[in-house]
Chain A
Amino acid sequence: MSGATTHGTRPGSGVVRVTGELIATRRVGAYHHLTFVAPGLAELARPGQFVALAVGGPTSANLLRRCFSIHKVSPSGTYGGTVDVVVAAHGPGTTWITELRAHDEVDIVGPLGRAFPLPKEPVPCVLVGGGYGSAPLFWLAEALRDRGCHVEMVLGAATESKLFGVVEARRHADGVTVTTDDGSMGTRGWVSDVLPEVIRRTGAAVVYGCGPMGMLESITDVATAEGAVAQVAVEESMACGVGVCMTCVMPVVGKDGATRMVRSCVEGPVFRGDRVRWDAFSDGWCRVPDDAVGAPRAGGH
């Protein structure tokens, strides 16, 4: 009945590893919204952090973990603590996850990564989500409103079925703007088309974003142009999620002004938008900028 087994993680480590039972699953448009029993995780988690799920069971040929933003957590309930994620079926791992049924068990590690930083003052904020990228923004909105911030949300997707949480957004935010590429819901176009007006109208000091990389770059551009700070949660390909494989790196400018290839699973996934070297990304590749610390030299490798 407990629905979960906790494995060895060490006290004070800030992370738990549990075999969590799936207790609820529902389709939301193009996505699957899943609730797992995960004792101890809720107390540690903050908006913007993520969980890493093992897929395919203990003898799976897919060894690498799949990472998902935490949609919400609840520390106690009928089943003890739970964690919710919103999953888009894409390749074999996410397909396996979306085909799980109630009472199936999944190995979950979390919370991982750095959370969205919250402003000290009750300043107006805009939260921008692309597709399932809106998943972590609702409990962020709650945390911001608890601090007295005016919160507006902008949700965008290719089409209506790929929007996530429009109804929920109305409950969690003081204003909601929706865009779709095909005009099937809200304004036809991209979130960056409506964002300048929302920032100006609300006087937003911080713009939070989660979604595809291209969208995060344009959110950063718009926010910077409007004098707001962008905090974006990136999605880089990850093999471990816990900082040991070095596959999830991206070029980010540090406090000392130097660009380094940093691990987005431990130093991110949330970065200040204006610190990310967007110029290095193109066509699905990310190169190492020539001025990055330890960049390959001519003749080297």
Chain B
Amino acid sequence: MTLTSADTVAATTATSVDMSVDLAGRHLPSPMMTASGCAANGRELGRFFDVAELGAFVTKSVMADPRSGRGTPRMAETPSGMLNSIGLQGPGISAFVEHDLAWLKQAGARTLVSVAGGTSGEFADVAATLRASDAFDSVVGVEVNISCPNVANRGLVFACDPLASAKVIALVREQLPRDVPVFAKLTPDVTDIVSVAQACVKAGANGLTMINTLLGMVIDTDLLRPQVAGVTGGLSGPAVRPVAVRAVWQTRAAMLEGRLPYVPIIGVGGVRTGRDALELVAAGASAVQVGTATFNDPSAPVRVGRELAGLVQDKGFTRLADVVGIAHERLARA
């Protein structure tokens, strides 16, 4: 990868800490990313900061065809968070690569493209169209959103079932060149997240993103009916952060115990400040995405990166990589 001017800006601001990340073979100048569905596809946040300053820009999960998403209301505010039921609204992969990915490329962004499907075949088709696109060289990885409902399987999300997850990951992996890493995005709404992670890595995932939203529900107590039109929705924001820390921790622990091959973890869930990001990093995340906090502060993904760099330096480290998973070395001995 060539270094853009924004890389040098990001690397030289404020601290002397090496914040770069090697993410499944891709070198990123910063660990910071947007979270899928919380940043649209670039232009909107490009008004607030240079999208090339991020380690990677993560796009809204895209499916094969255009989708309207659900009716409204689509959201409810909850304590330190929100419930959303968007229904994967999007332009479809063809329009996405032509308009959105092309824009991100000319803006100098490294893009992590999030893909989704109602069937495992749809995921593969989306990946194939992506690979064939002109701007594919700006893609630093593909994030597979297996946390969406599986049409064929009574609407259960793929990521609740290790076998269904593995099938999707294997089909997507097949469509993409070896040097383009595939990340499986997992839901914490499972009994054992490690077994889903194992299935995904075995099927060819080069990394894991966790967590997607938790299934939740809000009732409007004036009208005594569900507040969002989709009835249930995904819970996100600082309220879910301890769940994200736990999921990253358990997965990293499984790697340390030899139950899971070492793959990088991208931590996401409730990050609002550098301190929050540091928590995920110490639990085992190599990179960090900022989702819901962006609605409060549109520049949060880059601000959190600056705060994180400052904290890492204050604690006496020179490289972010040395902090990844460090909390596992500092357990109370019984």
Main secondary structure of the interface of B (DSSP, over half): loop
Q: With A7-B299, A284-B73, A294-B90 given, can you name 20 additional A-B contacts, CB distance below 8 Å?
A: A8-B49, A10-B46, A13-B46, A13-B47, A15-B47, A54-B296, A61-B238, A64-B82, A242-B44, A244-B39, A244-B40, A246-B40, A246-B74, A249-B69, A249-B89, A285-B72, A293-B68, A294-B92, A296-B70, A299-B151
* From B74, B118, B296, contact of A301 by CB (8 A): B118
What sequence of 0s and 1s flags, for each residue 65-89 of chain B, a beta carbon within 8 Å of any chain A beta carbon?
Answer: 1111111111101011110101101
Q: Is the CB of A266 within 8 A of B44?
A: yes
Whether A24 is near chain B, meaning CB under 8 Å from some CB there, is: no
* From B39, B73, B87, B294, contact of A237 by CB (8 A): B73
Whether B37 is near chain A, meaning CB under 8 Å from some CB there, is: yes
Closest to B43 in A: A243
Q: Which of B38, B67, B70, B295 has the most CB of A within 10 A?
A: B295
Interface residues on A, range: 35 or more
Whether A17 is near chain B, meaning CB under 8 Å from some CB there, is: yes
Q: Is the CB of A249 within 8 A of B66?
A: no
Q: What are 16 contact pairs spanning A and B, CB under 8 A?
A: A8-B299, A10-B49, A17-B48, A63-B237, A64-B77, A64-B82, A240-B294, A242-B47, A244-B44, A246-B40, A246-B74, A246-B89, A285-B71, A287-B229, A288-B71, A296-B87
Chain A residues within 8 Å of B71, by CB = 280, 285-288
Q: Is the CB of A239 within 8 A of B68?
A: no
Chain A residues within 8 Å of B149, by CB = 301
Could you tell me the distance in whole angstroms from the C-beta of B218 to the nearest C-beta in chain A?
Answer: 13
Whether B155 is near chain A, meaning CB under 8 Å from some CB there, is: yes
* From B39, B46, B86, B223, contact of A247 by CB (8 A): B86
Chain A residues within 8 Å of B79, by CB = 61
CA distance A56 to B299 in the complex (A): 18
Q: Which of B255-279 contact A (CB under 8 A)?
A: 272
Q: Is the CB of A237 within 8 A of B75?
A: yes
Q: Is the CB of B295 within 8 A of A64?
A: yes
Whether B135 is near chain A, meaning CB under 8 Å from some CB there, is: no
Whether A42 is near chain B, meaning CB under 8 Å from some CB there, is: no
Instruction: Tell me the B residues contacting A by CB distance below 8 Å.
Output: 37-40, 44-50, 60, 65-75, 77, 79-82, 84, 86-87, 89-90, 92, 118, 149, 151, 155, 223, 229, 237-238, 272, 292-299
Evaluate whether A54 and B297 lie within 8 angstroms (CB atoms) in the complex, with A10-B47, A63-B77, A249-B89 already known. yes
Evaluate whether A261 and B89 lie within 8 angstroms (CB atoms) in the complex, with A64-B77, A65-B295, A245-B295 already known. yes
Chain A residues within 8 Å of B81, by CB = 63
Q: Is the CB of A243 within 8 A of B77?
A: no
Q: Is the CB of B37 within 8 A of A246?
A: yes
Closest to A13 in B: B47
Evaluate whether A288 and B69 lie within 8 angstroms (CB atoms) in the complex, with A243-B44, A301-B151 already known. yes
Closest to A10 in B: B47
Evaluate whether A294 and B66 lie within 8 angstroms (CB atoms) in the complex, with A14-B47, A64-B295 already known. yes
Q: Which of A1-30 contact B (CB under 8 A)?
A: 7-10, 13-15, 17
Q: Is the CB of B118 within 8 A of A300?
A: yes
Q: Is the CB of A244 within 8 A of B299?
A: no
Whether A236 is near chain B, meaning CB under 8 Å from some CB there, is: yes
* From B68, B80, B238, B294, contact of A294 by CB (8 A): B68
Closest to B298 in A: A242
Q: Is the CB of B38 within 8 A of A295?
A: no
Whether A128 is near chain B, meaning CB under 8 Å from some CB there, is: no
What sequence of 0s and 1s flags, for each residue 23-57 of chain A, a beta carbon within 8 Å of any chain B beta carbon?
Answer: 00000000000000000000000000000001000
Closest to B48 in A: A9
CA distance A87 to B292 in the complex (A): 25
What sequence of 0s and 1s flags, for each residue 64-79 of chain A, a beta carbon within 8 Å of any chain B beta carbon?
Answer: 1100000000000000
CA distance A294 to B87 in the complex (A): 11
Chain A residues within 8 Å of B67, by CB = 294
Whether A250 is near chain B, meaning CB under 8 Å from some CB there, is: yes
Q: Is the CB of B68 within 8 A of A292?
A: yes
Q: Which of B37, B50, B70 has the most CB of A within 10 A?
A: B70
Could you tell me the distance in whole angstroms from the C-beta of A53 to the nearest C-beta in chain B?
Answer: 11
Q: Is the CB of A63 within 8 A of B80?
A: yes
Chain A residues within 8 Å of B37, by CB = 245-246
Could you tell me the distance in whole angstroms from the C-beta of A73 to the nearest C-beta in chain B?
Answer: 19
Closest to A264 in B: B72
CA distance A9 to B50 in the complex (A): 9
Whether A260 is near chain B, meaning CB under 8 Å from some CB there, is: yes
Q: Is the CB of A294 within 8 A of B75?
A: no
Closest to B86 in A: A246
Whether A62 is near chain B, meaning CB under 8 Å from some CB there, is: yes
